Structure 1
């Protein structure tokens, strides 16, 4: 098992903060109960660039922080967890090609909404139909965000020469 360095810990914490901050950027889509959150394509880009383990840890830290601050509820955390697991596993097993990244977000959103429907014991379609515009926007935004994040990581983040902490 690879031990985390101080650099790794700081990087995961910064990725968690990036996920939280991106969640505040919301675009209304014109359908009541529907909005696009920038955190979805940002999370997919993090999974593609930094790998499943860092992506999942950063996402869990973000969810715990939002729960502790009272910004999220357990239902929000459930949706986030299902989305993260679905997207992370899709990228882990299918790779980081453009089509995979474009499909991972909508699939993750759909699976998270299906999980929410089972939790709340309500029909799936009323939860799924309003998020279709956000799924489309996520699919369109994920590649430019991933490309930008990958470029920044290669130029800045690849210089990891910090000794291991624990």
Structure 2
């Protein structure tokens, strides 16, 4: 339970930080590469529970609306599916976030009836950042939270 609470806090706080971009409106939330890394290291179940709790907190605090939550949920499901289908390798981890963002933005364009191209172009800097940063964040989280085999080896 404590792990999920900490992961929820990590997703919530990292979503509050926006990295500026060269073009207005294309700033990027730090939570995407962190979310991919959490899914890889902690597994989909803990990742999705922490993500849902993070979205609920955002709704309660008024920092997110229903559209933000819908986009985040689509992103989470797609990232989980890509990692489940592609495995835990460098390229799958690198593309999981950008694929999740693409599908989430396309679904947003269907919901709000706006051009998907504009939404996708605005997301490109963030997709590149996610692709580059996901694997280093996986390595960082693995050092903080070693695999079950490594955890049990230290106990003996």
> When the two structures are superposed, what TM-score results if normalisation uses the length of structure 1?
0.87
Q: Which structure exhibits the higher relative contact order, with contacts defined as CA atoms closer than 8 Å and separated by 6 or more residues?
A: 1
- The gaps in structure 1 that reach 5 residues or longer are 1-8, 160-166
Q: When the two structures are aligned, how many residues end up with a matched partner?
A: 151
Counterpart selection for 1:42 from 5, 26, 34: 34
Measure, in 1, the Cα distance between the counterparts of 2:147 and 2:107: 39
Alignment gaps of 5+ in structure 2: none
Moved over 3 A (4+): 155-159
Measured against aligned partners, the alpha-carbon deviations of 1:48-79 in whole angstroms (never above 9, x if no partner) come to 00111110000000001110111100000011
> TM-score scaled by structure 2?
0.92
- 2:135 is aligned, of 133, 143, 150, to 143
The Cα of 1:86 is off from its aligned counterpart by: 0.4
RMSD of aligned alpha carbons: 1.6
Counterpart in the other structure of 1:60:
52
- Please give the secondary structure, in 2, of the residue aligned with 1:31: coil
Check if 1:84 corresponds to 2:76.
yes
Question: Could you tell me which residue of structure 1 aligns to residue 12 of structure 2?
Answer: 20
Higher helix share: 2
